[in-house]
Amino acid sequence: MTVSSAKEKTSHTVKVEIMGKQHYVPEGLTMLQAMWHTGHELTRGVGCLGGICGACPSKYTTPEDAKIKTALACQTQVEEGMSFSLTAAYYPNRKVVSDFKKMEDPKQEIFRLYPETALCRNCDACTRACPKGIDVRTGVWKAAFGQFKEGADLFLSCVMCSLCVPVCIADIAPNQVGLYMRRAQGIFFNEKSSHLLARLEEIEQGKFDAEWEQLLSLSDEAIISKSLA
């Protein structure tokens, strides 16, 4: 179906409303695909198309439920009567420099870097806004109580879409707090892999320098030929 014929209803199309304008699009498309199909030029809000990068946060409603829901537009299929729009906006938040090399106690340092973490009102708006279904509120509480392992695990599927940021009445950036916990947990508290440490030592000793020099000296054609061999 072409863009010009997208206004006609067929047995294989669904009626959707995109940013206030009605369209008929083929069933089975994702929100992003529906926008492309209807001629929208997207210069922002498009990334990996795999639900990982968090570039395409969107909000939508359906006929049977007027409640506004959140989703990643690249992962959510359109359905009959759906009304949606991208919310690919930039939400300003403080740029915190976390110098983990100089930190002694990251569980206390979080209150200097993100002091608002302790001000969570327990309203759960962040959890309801999360398109990945993360229990964001509990994650923030875990951060405040120094339970970094549990908190880091909760935020493991966070894609940094920032939909939790504008809904927080305590001005917390929960996704940033979650990212801090994940990094701190990995650096300070997780058991170090003996295999990784051994390989890093080999690299520092120059064990692979000759191979790297040989590889970097190859032309593009030689690299392609070598990879196809």
Neighbours of 95 (CB within 10 A): 6
Q: What is the pTM of this model?
A: 0.78
Count: domains in the chain: 3
In a domain, 91, yes or no: no
d(Cα 55, Cα 181) in Å, to the nearest integer? 22
- Same domain, residue pair 152 and 109: yes
Look at residue 10 in the predicted model and tell me its pLDDT.
64
DSSP H stretches of helix in the chain? 31-37, 106-113, 125-129, 136-144, 148-154, 174-184, 194-204, 209-216, 220-228
* CA angle (8, 70, 18) in 5-degree steps: 25
Q: What is the CATH number of the domain that holds 79?
A: 3.10.20.30
In a domain, 93, yes or no: no
pLDDT by 10-residue block (mean), the chain, 229 residues? 51 92 96 96 89 94 93 96 88 82 95 95 97 97 98 97 94 96 95 92 96 91 85
- Same domain, residue pair 141 and 156: yes
Residue 1: closest CA among 40, 41, 39: 39
In a domain, 92, yes or no: no
Boundary residue ending a domain (37, 59, 86): 86
Residue 99: closest CA among 186, 183, 192: 183
Q: At what angle do helices 106-113 and 174-184 cross, to 10 degrees?
A: 160
Look at residue 73 in the predicted model and tell me its pLDDT.
96
Q: What is the CA radius of gyration of the chain?
A: 23
In a domain, 184, yes or no: yes
Look at residue 9 in the predicted model and tell me its pLDDT.
62
In a domain, 94, yes or no: no
Residue whose token pair is 């929100």: 31
Enclosing domain of residue 177: 100-189
